[in-house]
């Protein structure tokens, strides 16, 4: 193997960096759709059940991530474009991305959402007042307000298990090592090596890493993926984005608009002395 370009490190900004940044590498090419991750997550974290309903969308009755589903296995049935025989199965276990620039954390007005010492993004449920801003801010639609409870919930990357040196429940339960947990830098190396393997195999031509690049719209994910098709096919945004400078330019526009209001008002009042 020739030495490639320097691998991205997905480093957190200095003021947020604690110890080693831990995360997930979800390799969808070996996912078998068993949903053990969904079950293990619910069991360990005491996540309430969702009303069972047949969706008709392949084997997926969870549908998407939310307050009560912190892991979600997507099932995509694809007829190949070249009319070669058969249906192609794409399965992938989705999870909170624990973004480098996390929109939910940045917009949270109470400080309930924080960056842990593992570089993960966690909601403190004793602080959250259910304002719902994170729900609309998340570029992936992950975090959600629990209806009967009022507060927002999402994957904690098993903060409690990490604290005692254990791995998250979903990674532990995954029978094919599709979900891998570890220091992000090591996972990135594994992922790039795995990508080369998958690309060389039939059907792997379009394989790519999703969220493993620090120059993407959210500065890379703490939980990134190897996907076999475009992100939107799995229900993921093709180019998620959250940038602080957008907030600055928006306030700039709002200031100009505020002055325009005052100007219009002054014009309407028409000074007389």
Partner 1 sequence: MAAVGGREEPAERPLVPRERPRSYYGLPIVRRPAWTWEVPLYFFTGGTAGALAATSILARWSGQHRMGRSARRMALAGALVSPALLISDLGRPARFLNMLRVVRPTSPMSLGSWTLAGFGSALGMAEAADLAGLPVAVTGTMEGAAGILGPILANYTAVLLGDTANPIWRAGRHLLPFVFSGSSLAAAGGALCLAGPEEGRPVSRRMVVVGTALEQAAFLAMESHLGPLAEPYRTGRGGRLARVHRLASWTSAVLVLAGRRSPLLLRLGGAIALGSSALLRQAVYRAGFQAVDDPSYLVESQGP
Residues 118-157 that bind partner 1 (CB under 8 A): 127-133, 135-141, 144-146, 149-152
Sole binder of partner 1 in the list 5, 6, 202, 270 (CB under 8 A): 270
- Report d(CA 196, CA 192) in Å as an integer: 7
What does the block give as tokens for 77?
Answer: 């049935």
- Asked if 205 touches partner 1 (CB under 8 A), the answer is no
> Which residues make Cβ contacts (< 8 Å) with residue 264, sequence separation at least 6?
none
The percent helix, strand, coil of the chain (3-state, each to 5) is 30, 20, 50
Asked if 253 is part of the footprint of partner 1 (rule: CB under 8 A), the reply reads yes
Show contacts with partner 1 in window 61-80 (CB under 8 A): 63-64, 74, 76-79
Residues 92-121 within binding reach of partner 1 (CB under 8 A): 103, 106-112
C-beta of 93: minimal distance to partner 1 in Å? 14
- Residue 84 makes contact with partner 1 by CB under 8 A: no
Binding footprint of partner 1, residue count (CB under 8 A)? 78
Least distance in Å: CB of 192 to partner 1? 24
Contact string (CB under 8 A) for partner 1, positions 219-248, x = contact = -----------x-xxxxxxxxxxx-x-xx-
Give whichever of 171 and 236 is closer to partner 1, judged by the CB atom. 236
H and E: helices and strands count for the chain: 7, 10
According to CB under 8 A, which one of 17, 32, 200, 254 is a site residue for partner 1?
254
Give the separation between CA 229 and CA 187, rounded to whole angstroms. 21
3-state secondary structure of 93: strand
Q: Are 180 and 102 in contact (CB under 8 A)?
A: no
Number of other residues whose CB lies within 10 A of the CB of residue 6? 6
* 166 to 185: interface string for partner 1, x by CB under 8 A: --------------------
- Collapse the DSSP code of 12 into the 3-class scheme (helix H, G, I; strand E, B; otherwise coil) and give the result: coil
Question: Within 13 Å, how many C-alpha atoms sit on residue 58's CB side?
Answer: 15
Q: In angstroms, give the least distance from the CB of 23 to partner 1.
A: 21
Decide whether 85 or 268 has the Cβ nearer to partner 1.
268
Q: What x-and-dash track marks residues 4-43 binding partner 1 by CB under 8 A?
A: ----------------------------------------
φ and ψ at residue 62, rounded to 5 degrees: -85, -35
Both tokens assigned to 97: 């991305």
């Amino acid at each position: 193997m020739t030495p490639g370009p320097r691998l991205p490190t997905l480093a957190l900004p200095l003021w947020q960096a604690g110890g080693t940044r831990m995360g997930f590498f979800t390799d969808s090419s070996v996912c078998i759709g068993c949903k053990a991750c969904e079950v293990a997550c619910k069991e360990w974290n005491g996540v309430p059940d969702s009303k069972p309903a047949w969706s008709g969308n392949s084997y997926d009755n969870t549908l998407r991530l939310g307050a009560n589903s912190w892991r979600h296995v997507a099932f995509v049935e694809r007829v190949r474009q070249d009319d070669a025989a058969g249906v192609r199965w794409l399965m992938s276990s989705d999870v909170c991305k624990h973004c480098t620039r996390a929109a939910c954390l940045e917009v949270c007005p109470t400080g309930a959402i924080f960056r842990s010492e593992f570089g993960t993004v966690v909601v403190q449920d004793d602080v959250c007042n259910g304002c719902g801003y994170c729900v609309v801010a998340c570029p992936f639609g992950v975090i959600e307000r629990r209806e009967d409870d009022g507060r927002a919930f999402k994957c904690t990357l098993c903060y409690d298990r990490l604290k005692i040196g254990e791995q998250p429940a979903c990674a532990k339960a995954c029978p094919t090592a599709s979900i891998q947990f570890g220091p992000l830098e090591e996972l990135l190396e594994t992922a790039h090596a795995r990508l080369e393997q998958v690309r060389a195999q039939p059907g792997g031509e379009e394989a790519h890493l999703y969220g493993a690049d620090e120059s993407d719209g959210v500065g890379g994910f703490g939980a990134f993926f190897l996907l076999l098709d475009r992100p939107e096919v799995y229900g993921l945004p093709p180019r998620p984005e959250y940038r602080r400078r957008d907030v600055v330019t928006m306030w700039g526009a709002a200031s100009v608009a505020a002055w325009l209001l005052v100007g219009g008002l002054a014009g309407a009042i028409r000074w007389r002395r």
